[in-house]
A and B are shown apart, each in its own frame.
Chain A
Amino acid sequence: MSLPTRTFTVTRADLVRYAEASGDPNPIHQDDEVARSVGLPGVIAHGMYTMALAARAVAEWFPGAEVVSLGCKFTNPVVVPAEGGVDVEVAGEVKDASDGLTTIALTVTSGGQKVLGMPKAVVRA
């Protein structure tokens, strides 16, 4: 069963708020020059920010459900422009529902490219 795809826009201001709230001060999420100095194309979103958007979609699909496990690889960076923002799309498919546990395979893309590898959530629902 496919779940309704959710689209989120990520801006530099979001990354500043996330850095403060999460306690990740890595400057590659704030400063183009630092990001380029380590071979990145520019400021990238925290992988955890993108993962949080995926978790937000899961919470919207299964309101109130307890999350049992959540995981992914960060396979491609989400490059966030200085002006405006970049869209992240979260699609989901229910793969299995048994013993009170629902397994959701996620597909998270930005600009048509997958940014998370094998993102998966298991919820008690």
Chain B
Amino acid sequence: MPVDPSLVGREFPPTRPYAVTAADIGRFAAAVGAEYAGGPAPATYPIVLTFDAMNAFLAAESIELHRIVHGEQRFAYERPIVPGDLLSATLTVSSLRQIAGNDIIGTVSEITDDTGALVCSTSATLVHRGGDA
């Protein structure tokens, strides 16, 4: 089933605030084989917040996760994420097009801290593989 075209421009509710701990960053770093001795999180760590927002978006739109592949990902960092941060991601659907029976969904998730300051802007393109696949 194609994705609802009226989604473009829609902003979804912010994710529940996520308390970043050294243990959580350490687990993420270990999962990608990196060492972590405290301080700034690895560069791709913000995806934890982005995935939270994307999973909520996909569930809200009844899009099956297994039909999604990641097409593109960009991060623009205002500052590194560190233990003690309380972060939330707000996802907006930025574009939507159909190519060869697939929906190409552009999203922007802005990650903010508990003062409302932008920490990282993440943009993701999700490829929703059509129902006939």
Count chain B residues whose beta carbon lies closer than 8 angstroms to a beta carbon of A: 33
- Across the two chains, which residue of chain A brings its CB closest to B128? A38
Of the stretches B6-14, B69-77, B90-98, the one at the interface is B69-77
B42–A23 touching, CB < 8 Å = no
CB distance from A95 to the nearest CB of B (A): 17
A114 within 8 A of B: no
Chain B contact surface mostly: mixed
B125 contact set on A, CB distance < 8 A: 73
Question: Which one of A17, A20, A59, A117 contacts B34 once the chains associate, using CB atoms below 8 Å?
Answer: A59
B74–A46 touching, CB < 8 Å = no
A28–B75 touching, CB < 8 Å = no
| A-side interface size class | 35 or more
A52 within 8 A of B: yes
The docked-state distance in angstroms from the alpha carbon of A72 to that of B75 is 9
Number of residue pairs A-B, CB distance < 8 angstroms: 111
CB distance from B83 to the nearest CB of A (A): 15
B66–A23 touching, CB < 8 Å = no
Question: Which one of B44, B55, B75, B129 contacts A38 once the chains associate, using CB atoms below 8 Å?
Answer: B129
B17 within 8 A of A: no
Question: Which one of B27, B28, B43, B69 contacts A70 once the chains associate, using CB atoms below 8 Å?
Answer: B43
A47–B67 touching, CB < 8 Å = no
Q: A39-B133, A49-B32, A66-B80 are in contact. Are A21 and B55 (CB under 8 A)?
A: no
By a beta-carbon cutoff of 8 Å, the part of chain A in contact with chain B is 8, 14, 17-18, 20-28, 34, 37-40, 44, 46-49, 51-53, 55-56, 58-59, 66-74, 77, 117, 121
By a beta-carbon cutoff of 8 Å, the part of chain B in contact with chain A is 27-28, 30-34, 40, 42-44, 47-48, 51-52, 55, 65-77, 80, 125, 129, 133
The contact sample of 12 A-B pairs, CB cut-off 8 A, is A22-B47, A22-B51, A23-B51, A52-B32, A56-B32, A58-B43, A59-B43, A66-B80, A67-B43, A70-B43, A71-B73, A74-B71
